[in-house]
C-alpha cells in the first residue's frame, strides 16, 4: 500500500529499514519524543504507521540545529535527511525501524502545540492513562495514541470484511430512514420535532426492523446495512445511546440457512482480523442455556456449569422454604475451591449475588469424609448429585427461579474471572435459540413479546397462543453470544397476515391499535410477503471483542459518557428559543 503518492513525504514513519541506507528521505509526522543530549539531538517522529528516529549532530547545518532546538512534543514536523544504518551498538531491537535513523538536512516545523493536557506518544508509557473524562474531552489527542488507532483500524477492517462477505453472498446494501415513525414498544425513542407538522415528531430508529421486512416483501431477497441505531436508555460499559448494527434480512430463510450464512460471516471476521479459524459454533436452546449457565448469554470459555438437583425429601430449611414457595435451588461446583476461596472471598460472593435479588448463598467444602460449611446440614445423599471431589467448593442458591438463575449465572462469570479460569485469548461463541415468545410485563401484567411482535412462534406452539399456556410458546428466534456478550440476535418473521393478527390479538393489541402502530407493515404483509428472517449484529460489541477491550467507548471514535454527553462537542446543549418556537416546542425546564 502506498501512502506517499503525490504527498511530499517519501516514506511513512514505519517504513525505513537498514537497506534504505543512503536514500534521501522526507518524513512528516508528530514529535513523539525529544532527547536533547547537547551535542546531539534525537527526535522520534510518529505517524499512524510507526516511529522513526531523526538525528541532529555536528554534521548538520546551523539552520537544522536552530529548528531542532525549538521542537516540542507533539509538534508536527517535516524532516528531510539521509537514511543511515545505525552503528551496531546503537540499534534498538524493540523498534521496527530500530536499525535506521535519519540524519537531518532540514527540519521544518509545520504546526506547534499548546502544552498538552496529557501524554500522548510513547512517552505516555511512563504515565498512567488520564481519566476517561479528560480523554473524552480531548478525544483528538486520545485518538492519536497508537492503541486507540489500532482499535479503529480493526473496526475499519471489520466493515470491509463484512461488506465483502455479504456482497459475495448476494446481499444488497440498502439505506433506511433515520427520521422514523415512533412506535411505543421497546426502548425509549429519541424524538425529533417536525417543523412543518406542528405537534408531530419523528423518532430515530431503534433498529430498521420494519423497513428491512418491507424490503423482503419488495423482493430484494437478501439485504444488509451497517447502520446507526438509537435507544434512549441508561448506559453501561457495553451500551451507548447510539450504536452500530450489521442489519441483515433474508428471504425464504430458515434458521439453518441463517446460521449457515452468519457462521460464514463470523468465521470471515475472525479469520481475517484475528487470523484464527473458529471451530463450528454450537447451538444451545434457551432452556438448556438457563439450566446450565443461568443466563441466555453464557460465557462458554470455562466450565463451572450449574447443576440441577433433585431435592425430594430434603428437610434443609432454606431449600425446603424456597421449593415450597414455588422456587428452585441449584448448585455449582468450583474444583479445588476449598482452598482457593477463603471465607472472605465467599462472603464477597454472597454480597455479589444479593445484587441480583438473591437472599444469600449456601456453600460447602467437600472434605475427605463429608462436608463442612452450611451445606453440611443438607442430607449427604442429596449432595452426592453435585459430583464434588474432596477439595472442591460447592455453592447452592435457592429462591425464585429467575433470581436463582441470574444470580448464579452472573456469579459463575465473576468467579471464573476472579480465579483466572478464562483464557483471555480464546473466543467462546454459541448460538442460543428457541426463546420464549412471550413474557408477562412485571408492571402491567400484560403479555409482551420477548423479541418483537413480528417474531414467528414455532409452528407446533402456535395453538397455545391466547390460552393459559401462552408462556410456554417458544419462538423461532436466535441470539449469537461471544465471551458472554450478546453480539447478535434475530428471528424468523411472521410473513402471514392472519398469523400476525393472531399474535397482536394474543398480546391484547386491538386491531385498531395494531393498525395505528404498524399499519403499513400489515398492509405490506397482505401483498405477497415471502417467508423471511434475519438478525442484527451489535457491531461495536463485535469490534470490542475482536480488539480485546471490554469497553464499547474504546471502539467508537466519538462516544458519549454514561450520562449520554459528548464532552468534546458539548452535546446535548441548550438551543436558541427561536429554534424551539419554529419547531412548536416549549421548554418546561
Residue 189's SS3 state is coil
Interface with RNA includes 567 (CB under 7 A)? Answer: yes
Interface with RNA includes 22 (CB under 7 A)? Answer: no
133 contacts: CB under 8 Å, gap ≥ 6: 561, 567
Interface with RNA includes 588 (CB under 7 A)? Answer: no
Interface with RNA includes 185 (CB under 7 A)? Answer: yes
**Residue closer to RNA, measured from CB, 238 or 496:** 238
In this structure, how many other beta carbons lie within 10 angstroms of the beta carbon of residue 136? 18
Interface with RNA includes 570 (CB under 7 A)? Answer: no
Interior/surface letters 418-453, b for 16+ CB within 10 angstroms, e for the rest: ebebbeeeebbbbbbbbbbbbeeeeeeeebbbbbbb
Residue 287's SS3 state is helix
Residue 123's SS3 state is helix
- Taking CB under 7 A as the binding criterion, the range among 3-11, 120-128, 262-270, 412-420 that sits at the site for RNA is 120-128
The correct pick among 3, 4, 7, 40 for binding RNA (CB under 7 A) is 40
The DSSP result for 193-230, as a single string, is E-SSSTT-EEE--S--HHHHHHHHHTT--EEEEEEEEE
**Residue closer to RNA, measured from CB, 144 or 366:** 144
The correct pick among 61, 129, 569, 575 for binding RNA (CB under 7 A) is 129
Instruction: Say how far apart CA 334 and CA 339 lie, in whole Å.
Output: 10
The correct pick among 233, 384, 423, 581 for binding RNA (CB under 7 A) is 233
Interface with RNA includes 39 (CB under 7 A)? Answer: yes
**Residue closer to RNA, measured from CB, 204 or 319:** 204
Q: Output Rg (C-alpha) for the chain, integer angstroms.
A: 30
Q: Which of residues 49-108 bind RNA (CB under 7 A)?
A: 53, 55, 57-58, 72-73, 86-87, 89-92, 94-95, 98, 101
Interface with RNA includes 280 (CB under 7 A)? Answer: no
Interface with RNA includes 451 (CB under 7 A)? Answer: yes
The residues that bridge with 53 in the sheet, in sequence order, are: 44
**DSSP 8-state secondary structure symbol assigned to residue 439:** E
Q: How far is the CB of 12 from RNA (least distance, A)?
A: 18
**Residue closer to RNA, measured from CB, 376 or 565:** 565
The residues that bridge with 42 in the sheet, in sequence order, are: 35, 55
Q: How far is the CB of 309 from RNA (least distance, A)?
A: 25
Q: How far is the CB of 330 from RNA (least distance, A)?
A: 18
Interior/surface letters 171-207, b for 16+ CB within 10 angstroms, e for the rest: beebebeeebbbbeeeeebbeebeeeeeeebbbbbbb
Q: How far is the CB of 536 from RNA (least distance, A)?
A: 8
- Taking CB under 7 A as the binding criterion, the range among 127-135, 248-256, 268-276, 521-529 that sits at the site for RNA is 127-135
The residues that bridge with 54 in the sheet, in sequence order, are: 43, 102
**Residue closer to RNA, measured from CB, 8 or 72:** 72
**Residue closer to RNA, measured from CB, 73 or 265:** 73
In this structure, how many other beta carbons lie within 10 angstroms of the beta carbon of residue 144? 19
- Taking CB under 7 A as the binding criterion, the range among 118-126, 426-434, 519-527, 578-586 that sits at the site for RNA is 118-126
Interface with RNA includes 558 (CB under 7 A)? Answer: no
- Taking CB under 7 A as the binding criterion, the range among 268-276, 370-378, 450-458, 462-470 that sits at the site for RNA is 450-458
**Residue closer to RNA, measured from CB, 108 or 571:** 571
Q: Which of residues 291-310 bind RNA (CB under 7 A)?
A: none
**Residue closer to RNA, measured from CB, 513 or 582:** 513
Interface with RNA includes 115 (CB under 7 A)? Answer: yes
My answer on whether omega of the bond before 474 falls inside 30° of 0, hence cis, is no
Only one residue has cell 481519566, namely: 131
Interface with RNA includes 38 (CB under 7 A)? Answer: yes
How do strand 362-366 and strand 242-251 relate by DSSP bridges? unpaired
The correct pick among 78, 132, 221, 263 for binding RNA (CB under 7 A) is 132
Q: How far is the CB of 2 from RNA (least distance, A)?
A: 27
Interface with RNA includes 368 (CB under 7 A)? Answer: no
Q: Which of residues 192-231 bind RNA (CB under 7 A)?
A: 206-207, 209, 231
For residue 80, give the H/E element and its range.
strand 76-85
Only one residue has cell 475472525, namely: 270
Q: How many residues does the chain have?
A: 589
Instruction: Say how far apart CA 204 and CA 70 lie, in whole Å.
Output: 50
Instruction: Say how far apart CA 589 and CA 575 lie, in whole Å.
Output: 13
The correct pick among 128, 312, 381, 589 for binding RNA (CB under 7 A) is 128
Helix (H), strand (E), coil (C) string for 386-422: HCCCCCCEEEEEEECHHHHHHHHHHHHHHHHHHCCCC
The correct pick among 8, 36, 160, 379 for binding RNA (CB under 7 A) is 36
Q: Which of residues 427-446 bind RNA (CB under 7 A)?
A: 442
The correct pick among 7, 372, 562, 579 for binding RNA (CB under 7 A) is 562
The correct pick among 96, 109, 134, 226 for binding RNA (CB under 7 A) is 134
**Residue closer to RNA, measured from CB, 165 or 518:** 518
Interface with RNA includes 176 (CB under 7 A)? Answer: no
Instruction: Say how far apart CA 92 and CA 584 lie, in whole Å.
Output: 66
Q: How far is the CB of 472 from RNA (least distance, A)?
A: 18
Question: Which cell is 101 given?
Answer: 535513523
CB 433 within 8 A of CB 283: yes
Interface with RNA includes 512 (CB under 7 A)? Answer: no
Q: How far is the CB of 384 from RNA (least distance, A)?
A: 33
Amino acid at each position: 500500500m502506498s501512502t506517499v503518492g503525490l504527498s511530499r513525504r517519501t516514506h511513512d514513519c514505519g517504513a525505513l529499514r537498514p537497506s534504505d541506507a543512503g536514500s534521501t528521505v522526507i518524513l512528516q509526522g508528530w514529535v513523539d519524543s525529544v532527547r536533547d543530549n547537547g551535542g546531539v539531538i534525537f527526535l522520534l517522529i510518529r505517524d499512524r504507521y510507526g516511529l522513526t528516529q531523526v538525528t541532529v549532530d555536528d554534521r548538520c547545518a546551523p539552520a537544522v540545529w536552530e529548528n531542532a532546538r525549538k521542537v516540542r512534543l507533539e509538534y508536527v514536523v517535516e524532516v528531510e535527511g539521509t537514511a543511515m544504518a545505525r552503528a551496531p551498538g546503537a540499534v534498538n531491537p524493540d523498534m521496527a525501524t530500530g536499525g535506521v535513523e535519519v540524519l537531518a538536512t532540514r527540519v521544518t516545523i509545520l504546526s506547534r502545540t499548546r502544552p498538552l493536557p496529557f501524554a500522548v506518544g510513547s512517552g505516555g508509557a511512563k504515565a498512567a492513562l488520564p481519566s476517561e473524562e479528560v480523554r473524552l474531552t480531548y478525544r483528538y489527542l486520545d485518538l492519536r495514541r497508537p492503541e486507540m488507532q489500532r482499535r479503529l483500524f480493526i473496526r475499519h477492517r471489520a466493515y470491509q470484511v463484512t461488506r465483502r462477505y455479504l456482497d459475495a453472498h448476494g446481499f444488497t446494501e440498502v439505506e433506511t430512514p433515520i427520521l422514523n415513525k415512533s412506535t411505543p414498544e421497546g426502548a425509549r425513542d429519541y424524538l425529533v420535532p417536525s417543523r412543518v407538522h406542528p405537534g408531530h415528531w419523528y423518532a430515530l430508529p431503534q433498529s430498521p426492523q420494519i423497513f428491512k421486512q418491507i424490503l423482503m416483501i419488495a423482493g430484494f431477497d437478501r439485504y444488509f446495512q451497517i447502520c446507526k441505531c438509537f435507544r434512549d436508555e441508561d448506559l453501561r460499559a457495553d451500551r451507548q445511546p447510539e450504536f452500530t448494527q450489521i442489519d441483515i434480512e433474508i428471504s425464504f430463510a430458515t434458521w439453518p440457512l441463517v446460521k449457515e450464512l452468519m457462521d460464514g460471516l463470523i468465521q470471515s471476521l475472525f479469520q481475517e482480523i484475528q487470523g484464527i479459524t473458529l471451530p463450528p459454533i454450537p447451538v444451545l436452546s434457551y432452556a438448556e442455556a438457563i439450566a446450565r449457565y443461568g443466563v441466555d448469554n453464557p460465557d462458554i470459555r470455562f466450565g463451572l456449569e450449574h447443576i440441577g438437583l433433585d431435592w425430594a425429601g430434603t428437610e434443609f430449611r432454606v431449600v425446603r422454604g424456597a421449593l415450597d414457595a414455588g422456587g428452585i435451588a441449584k448448585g455449582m461446583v468450583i474444583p479445588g475451591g476449598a482452598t482457593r476461596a477463603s471465607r472472605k472471598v465467599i462472603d464477597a460472593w454472597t454480597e455479589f449475588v444479593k445484587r441480583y435479588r438473591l437472599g444469600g448463598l449456601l456453600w460447602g467444602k467437600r472434605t475427605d469424609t463429608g462436608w463442612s460449611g452450611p451445606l453440611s446440614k443438607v442430607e449427604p445423599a442429596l449432595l452426592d448429585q453435585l459430583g464434588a471431589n474432596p477439595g472442591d467448593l460447592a455453592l447452592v442458591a435457592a429462591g425464585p427461579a429467575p433470581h436463582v438463575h441470574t444470580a448464579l449465572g452472573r456469579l459463575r462469570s465473576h468467579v471464573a474471572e476472579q480465579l483466572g479460569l478464562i483464557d483471555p485469548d480464546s473466543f467462546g461463541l454459541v448460538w442460543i435459540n428457541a426463546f420464549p415468545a412471550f413474557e408477562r410485563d412485571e408492571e402491567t401484567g400484560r403479555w409482551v413479546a420477548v423479541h418483537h411482535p413480528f417474531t414467528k412462534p414455532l409452528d407446533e406452539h402456535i395453538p397455545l397462543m391466547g390460552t393459559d399456556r401462552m408462556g410456554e410458546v417458544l419462538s423461532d428466534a436466535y441470539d449469537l453470544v461471544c465471551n458472554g456478550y450478546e453480539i447478535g440476535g434475530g428471528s424468523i418473521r411472521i410473513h402471514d397476515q392472519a398469523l400476525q393478527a393472531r399474535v397482536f390479538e394474543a398480546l391484547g393489541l386491538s386491531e385498531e391499535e395494531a393498525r395505528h402502530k404498524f399499519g403499513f407493515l400489515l398492509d405490506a404483509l397482505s401483498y405477497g410477503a415471502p417467508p423471511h428472517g434475519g438478525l442484527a449484529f451489535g457491531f461495536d460489541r463485535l469490534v470490542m471483542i475482536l480488539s480485546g477491550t471490554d469497553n464499547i467507548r474504546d471502539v467508537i471514535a466519538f462516544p458519549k459518557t454514561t450520562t449520554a454527553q459528548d464532552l468534546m462537542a458539548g452535546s446535548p446543549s441548550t438551543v436558541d428559543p427561536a429554534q424551539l418556537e419554529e419547531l412548536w416546542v416549549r421548554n418546561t425546564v
